[in-house]
Amino acid sequence: MDPEARGNIYRAHQLKEKIWNLLVAIAASMPSSLRKLQCRLVFAAAAKGSDASAALRELFSMQDDLMHKLEQTATRYEGGIHPKHRVMGYHSFFVERIKAGEKVLDVGCGNGSVAFSMAETGAIVTGIDINESLIQSARHRYERDNLSFIVGDVTKVLPSGCFDVVVLSNVLEHIDDRQQFLMTVCEKARPKRFLIRVPMINRNWVIPLRKELGMSYLSDPTHFLEYTRDDLEVELRDAGLIVESVETVWGEFWIQARTCQE
């Protein structure tokens, strides 16, 4: 693409952003009651379409936009950490299954909050994530002598050394070749236990309907899949893991598994 064409695209993008910001500012100046009325009118107009499948697609698309803004605003409300950490209380699932002195590898540690909670037990925790900005934020927010964070792609390179526990908190669903990944982790990290969270696919009636309508139906566009319990247990078994417990909470499976070597 020639420089003039790139410049035109850039200027068009800037103009579009300015117009959007102006419209948002105008809407923000309205009374909330008027904004609610506008939303209700838009939803009613979308639902009134004669083609019910098209109406559903439009409404689901609006729902996606709403959920995106809810996620952003909820994180702002919580001071930069998603409130699901507090509301769902899932940190305790990991903390209660880890002992002081154990070496823990938190794969895909994200903002580091789960790793920090585990380190408070006295465990020696290493968090790794491919997102450098998240790791920088984790290092800034959480400091302990028994807690460290590193940047890395765990599908290619794992930290050196052996670990007692490997934590995969909403991570497996982001990996394509999960069986090979789990087998590699077992071989390189030599863990005794895995603690895992993954999303359920059958958590809501909306999921199969969205799929039927040809729309995205996974809870995150970077997911390769979401699980039924049978699919999950088969996948872990084929990777050489022995499932010890499965809890169904908040539309997720929380799993403790051990390796065959243990």
Other Cβ atoms within 10 Å of 101 Cβ, number: 11
pTM listed for this prediction: 0.82
Domain borders along the chain are 89-259
Q: Tell me the average pLDDT across 215-240.
A: 92
Chain mean pLDDT for the chain: 91
Pairwise CA distance, residues 99 & 83, whole Å? 26
pLDDT of residue 49: 82
The CATH code that applies to domain 89-259 is 3.40.50.150
Does the structure show a pLDDT above 70 at 262?
A: no
Choose the weakest-confidence range: 29-38, 88-97, 237-246.
Answer: 29-38
Does the structure show a pLDDT above 90 at 192?
A: yes
pLDDT of residue 261: 60
Q: Please indicate whether residue 231 or residue 160 has the higher confidence score (pLDDT).
A: 231
Q: Please indicate whether residue 149 or residue 18 has the higher confidence score (pLDDT).
A: 149
Structure confidence by residue, pLDDT tens digits, 13-58? 887 888 877 877 877 788 889 889 999 999 999 999 889 999 999 9
Beta bridge partners of 166: 105, 194
Does the structure show a pLDDT above 60 at 122?
A: yes
> How far lies 74's CA from each of 29, 67, 87, 114, 259, in Å?
21, 10, 11, 18, 38
Q: Tell me the average pLDDT across 97-113.
A: 94
Q: Tell me the average pLDDT across 207-221.
A: 92
Instruction: For the chain, give the percent of residues with pLDDT over 90.
Output: 71
